[in-house]
Amino acid sequence: MSEVMMDRMSWVDYRSRIEQGNAVVFLPCGSLEQHGPHLPLGVDAMLSTAVAREVAVRVGGIVAPALSYGYKSQPRCGGGQHFPGTTSLDGDHLSQVVRDVIRELARHGVTQVVLVDGHYENQWFLIEGIDLALRDLGVDHAMRIMRTEYWDFCTEEVLGEVFPDGFPGFALEHAAVIETSLMLHFHPELVWMDKIPDVAPVEFPPHDMYPPHTHWVPTSGVLSSARGASAEKGALIVDAVCAGFADAVRREFGG
Ligand code: ZN
Ligand code: MN
């Protein structure tokens, strides 16, 4: 199998991959954010990279190094900014980094880019970066960009198997069953199963407050328990997500 990780290629090998045409470059977008006492701070970058890598292998793509810092953690989907370790960017800075990276890829001759978001709070700032980059490149440029939260490729069928008692929704899935199962699949040495807090899914009101009400968030930082997580569920999720994701890439970019 040829190398898919851009930072492990020489520039000469990278150039020849781009010159073959039709190369799809994946840009994983993560965060440095608390993920409960049982997972490391880098989960979002690790998982978006791991998923991007699996999909890149299937479609013959290249994975650029992840953006390891993301937009500010929000209480109702990431626990919030008040945890030690959570280290976030201003939205404009994230957008500008995305804009710069896309512009540089375009300079290399890349015309197909996939942003793989692993941190929900990044969403609109990634979209802004994409929009600014496309405006820089001009309407006649061949650049096309796909953007997704990778977990949206999870099928109803798989969610039914992973959550036999009902799915609490992706927002509460922070450091919970999906991320913990995926970490057990990709990086089992970085999951501390004996530290999983046993909490009921948090019930948030349908609004936010600023400054945030930190008392809305459990002190563990976990929004629903990861007790039901397993490596088997991780493999199930990975298979479904990567199959759906690879199909979408082929549909949009051909090959
Ligand atoms: Zn996460
Ligand atoms: Mn996150």
Q: pLDDT at residue 155 above 80?
A: yes
Beta carbons of 14 and 7 less than 8 angstroms apart: no
Average the pLDDT over 158-162 and give the result. 96
What tokens does 135 get? 């405006």
Q: Quick one: the chain helix, strand, coil %, rounded to 5?
A: 50, 10, 40
- When comparing pLDDT for 122 and 166, which is higher? 122
The verdict on whether 35 is a catalytic residue reads yes
Give the chain's mean pLDDT.
96
Q: Identify the pLDDT of residue 255.
A: 61
Q: Where exactly are the structural domains of the chain?
A: 6-253
38, 54, 117, 119: the catalytic one is 119
The arrangement of strands across the sheet holding 144-149 comes to 62-63, 24-29, 112-117, 144-149
121, 149, 173, 185: the catalytic one is 121
Strand partners, 149: 117
Beta carbons of 36 and 221 less than 8 angstroms apart: yes
Q: In whole angstroms, give the CA distance from residue 43 to residue 50.
A: 10
Topology of domain 6-253, per CATH? Rossmann fold (3.40.50)
